[in-house]
Amino acid sequence: MPKTITLLTSGTRGDVLPYIALGEGLLDAGYQVRIAAPLGFVDLVQQSNLTFAPFEGNPSDLLVEQGDSTPMTLGTNPIRSIRATQKFIRQARPLYRRMLHTAAEACRGSDILIHGLPTLWGAHIAEGLGIPAVRAVLQPLMPTREFPSALLPFRSSFLGIGNWFTHWAVTQATWLSWRREINHTRHADFGLGAAHWLDPSLRADSNQPLTLNGFSEQIVSRPKDWNDKQVITGYWRKNELTGKQVDKLDLQQFIDSSPNPIALGFGSPGTRGYLPMLEEALRRANAQAVLTIPAKWHGEIKSKNIFPIEYAPHDWVYRRVKVAVHHGGAGTTSASLHAGIPTVILPLAIDQFFWGERIHKIGVGPRPIPQRKLNSENLAQAITQALTDESMRARAKTVSAELNQENGIQAAVSVMRSKFSDFRIQNWIPQ
């Protein structure tokens, strides 16, 4: 009987879509596959062929942009930023307990559990169920001396052991923030003892978890101090246009009639507070933007240079515009890289600063502009550079061609088959 693999995910749409893509690859390989995710993603998961195992709670819903009071980032006032993060943790604690309990129930009956950054606590559920756990992440999380933690809200090299320590410190701080809730679940749901005060993932090399890194070595070179438990597979991508028609006639007409169409979005928190600045930046850059913004704010847009949409698939939009301007989430960055257009990153939090740095270093975008430093002048300059720099545009096309030759899903499936040889499917036919 085929083994059941459960992919445990949470966070935002950009966190969940790569898991759906990976899950469908495993399903095609002959495994039974479930995706355990918050209830809010029911419509997204039901568009796939995967079995949905919902659970309650999603702390990412509490991460609402509040200027200098935005949690999990570094604003112009560090004290306000720290207080906002502390408030977020206090609000999320009761949600965490319910989330962990219902997620544990959703994962029962699994033979292997795959979990990512928003669900690193999945390793404890796997331990309770007595099954193997595999980490599958969209950003490099394993410590290295080559660059600092990808989760820092800024980019500065601390050289060698200093870089390694930033990974350790961020991982440990995250673990200590939720250790009480995780240990409650270990005891209440599985009868396990408390985990060590050090994060269990901070282990000696021989005991590190198998980690599938869902990005390309074209974008992040493999650190020389990683061991063979760290596998870089390439991106896990799902074409959202498959099986459905995108009816965006007015949007297509706006793009076709625009001299310099770009796509602009700030991620899940929203964009409302930036509207006057955006309108001025677009005027300065002579650019016209397809702006992703909640429908309730469309009426506040006065500029003819902005076409507001609540949502359209990145694969559809990015292949029709000249430049992508976005917050730098892992999934969104992957989409603009694959589209072969320059990317302007406006990072706010988490790994967005890391991807902004990578975009600039590989030559496919200007230097990133943190949202705390954003104004109409520097945004207009970045957009103009992305529109007019021919070497940048050529480099973006080259990187896209290289990325589109990779198959991260197939590579990840092959790793799963080789590492768990007793779980192989006898009638597997290589793609």
Q: In terms of pLDDT, which residue wins out, 50 or 91? A: 50
pLDDT of residue 424: 45
pLDDT tens for each residue of 378-423: 999 999 999 999 999 999 999 999 999 999 999 999 999 988 865 5
pLDDT of residue 203: 58
pLDDT for residue 67: 46
Handedness of CA 140, 144, 145, 151 (dihedral sign): positive
User: Which distant-in-sequence residues (6+ apart) come within 8 Å of 414 by Cβ?
Assistant: none
Q: Which helix (H) or strand (E) holds 292?
A: strand 288-292
Query: Is pLDDT above 60 for 218?
Result: yes
Position 268 scores a pLDDT of 56
- 334-5-118-226 Cα dihedral, nearest 10 degrees: -70
Q: Using an 8 Å Cβ cutoff, are 116 and 9 in contact?
A: yes
Max CA-CA distance within the chain?
64
Distance of alpha carbon 143 from alpha carbon 168, whole angstroms: 7
Average pLDDT of the segment spanning 55-81: 65
HSE-up of residue 4 (Cα within 13 Å, Cβ side): 16
Distance of alpha carbon 59 from alpha carbon 42, whole angstroms: 17
| 5: β partners | 33, 112
Could you read off the pLDDT of 18-31 as tens digits, one per residue? 999 999 999 999 99
Q: How far apart are CA 215 and CA 362, in angstroms?
A: 14
Cα–Cα distance, 263 to 289 (Å, whole number)? 5
pLDDT digit string, tens, across residues 101-128? 999 999 999 999 999 988 889 999 999 9
Q: Contact, 36 vs 57, CB < 8 A?
A: no
Beta bridge partners of 210: none
| Residue 58 confidence (pLDDT) | 83
Tokens of 248: 């965006």
d(CA 167, CA 269): 26
- Report the relative pairing of strands 133-137 and 211-213 from DSSP bridges: parallel
Give the per-residue pLDDT at 27: 95
Strands 211-213 and 288-292: unpaired
Beta-strand relationship, 261-264 and 230-232:
unpaired
One-letter amino acid for residue 146 of the chain: E
Mean pLDDT score across all residues of the chain:
88
**What is the C-alpha separation between 178 and 425, in angstroms, rounded?**
37
Residue burial 206-239, b: 16+ Cβ < 10 Å; e: rest: eebbbbbbbbbebbbeebeebeebbbbbbbbbbe
Strands 112-115 and 51-55, sheet pairing: unpaired
Q: Residue 206: its pLDDT value, please?
A: 54
pLDDT at 312: 87
DSSP letter (8 states) at residue 291: E
Residue-wise pLDDT for 70-106, tens only, equals 655 665 566 666 677 777 777 778 888 999 999 999 9
- In this structure, of 3-12, 76-85, 156-165, the range with the lowest mean pLDDT score is 76-85
Asked whether the beta carbons of 81 and 60 are under 8 A apart, the reply is: no
**Residue 42 is encoded by which pair of tokens?**
């029911």
Question: At how many degrees (to 10) do helices 161-190 and 122-129 cross?
Answer: 50
Query: What is the DSSP annotation of 84-127?
Result: HHHHHHHHHHHHHHHHHHHHHHHHTT-SEEEE-GGGTTHHHHHH
353-387 pLDDT per residue, tens? 999 999 999 999 999 999 889 999 999 999 999 99
pLDDT at 352: 95
78: three-class secondary structure by DSSP: helix
Distance (Å, whole) CA 330 – CA 354: 9
Question: Which tens digit of pLDDT belongs to each residue from 313-347?
Answer: 899 999 999 999 999 999 999 999 999 999 999 99
pLDDT of residue 145 exceeding 70, the answer is yes
> Distance between CA atoms of 111 and 132, rounded to whole angstroms?
7
Backbone angles phi, psi at 235, to 5 degrees: -75, 150
Structure confidence at residue 70 (pLDDT):
61
Task: Please report, as a single letter, which amino acid is at residue 321.
Answer: V
Percent of the chain with pLDDT over 70: 87
Half-sphere exposure (Cβ direction) of 139: Cα atoms closer than 13 Å = 28
User: Alpha-carbon distance 33 to 110, whole Å?
Assistant: 9
pLDDT at 61 over 80: no
Domains and CATH numbers, the chain: 4-235+406-423 (3.40.50.2000), 249-403 (3.40.50.2000)
| pLDDT score, position 428 | 34
Residue 41 and residue 106 in contact, taking contact as beta carbons nearer than 8 Å: no
Q: Where are the beta strands (DSSP E) in 176-226?
A: 211-213
Instruction: Give pLDDT, residue 246.
Output: 55
